Amino acid sequence: MITIRTARKKEIPLIRKQRLQAYEEHINTIPAKHWQALKKAITSDSDEQPGVELLVAEVDGEIAGSTALFPAKTDAYDGLVDELDYPEIRVLAVAPDARGKGIASALVDECIRLAKQKGYHYIGLHTGEFMHNAIALYERYGFKRLPEYDFEPADDGIIVKAFRLSFNQDEN
């Protein structure tokens, strides 16, 4: 059984280490400069900003994954993207040995639930164009591309793609 809960302060170092392990699968598929920019982003303390909800997925008492839900109107990307009018899912990560068990979906489900509970009509996210499994997951949920909010963090041609999910059925 997967339990989604708020992370405890003492768990943050473990979460960041696990996040790095989860993203390391891309280390040989992207340029070193891009990996350094990604590594800096996923290990930064931006998930400790006021209003950010750092969530963990726990399985059998162990943290198997995590994500951060950034509130609307937050600089979630160090000035690379406009502040948006809806929350953003960031740094979603599942431990490599826990993949394929529905953990990423459980974390996305909770982020969507929280955004709806707070009265938002949308939830967004950004993901690297090379993160094919993540993109497939978000597309299954019905997230739509918003290319006007894409950005290129390392000036290397690799695009971080913007997606948004509308809770209004007429827009999906």
pLDDT tens-place string over residues 14-44 = 999 999 999 999 999 999 989 998 999 999 9
* Percentage of the residues of the chain whose pLDDT score is greater than 90: 83
Number of domains in the chain: 1
pLDDT for res 153: 85
Tell me which residue has tokens 């993949």. 99
Joined tokens for residue 118: 């707070």
Pairing of strands 144-145, 160-166: antiparallel
Joined tokens for residue 98: 């826990």
Mean pLDDT rounded to a whole number for the chain: 93
Which stretch of 40-44, 62-66, 99-103 has the lowest confidence by average pLDDT?
40-44
SS3 assignment, position 64:
strand
Q: Which residue from 26, 22, 87, 81 is spatially nearest to 56, judged by alpha carbons?
A: 22
pTM for the structure as a whole: 0.93
> Rounded to whole angstroms, how far apart are CA atoms 69 and 13?
18
Q: Which residues contact 15 (CB under 8 A, 6 or more apart)?
A: 7, 54, 56, 63, 66
Domain that holds residue 38: 2-171
**Domain at 165, CATH number:** 3.40.630.30
- Residue 101: phi and psi, rounded to 5, are -115, 10
pLDDT tens-place string over residues 69-89 = 999 988 666 655 667 899 999
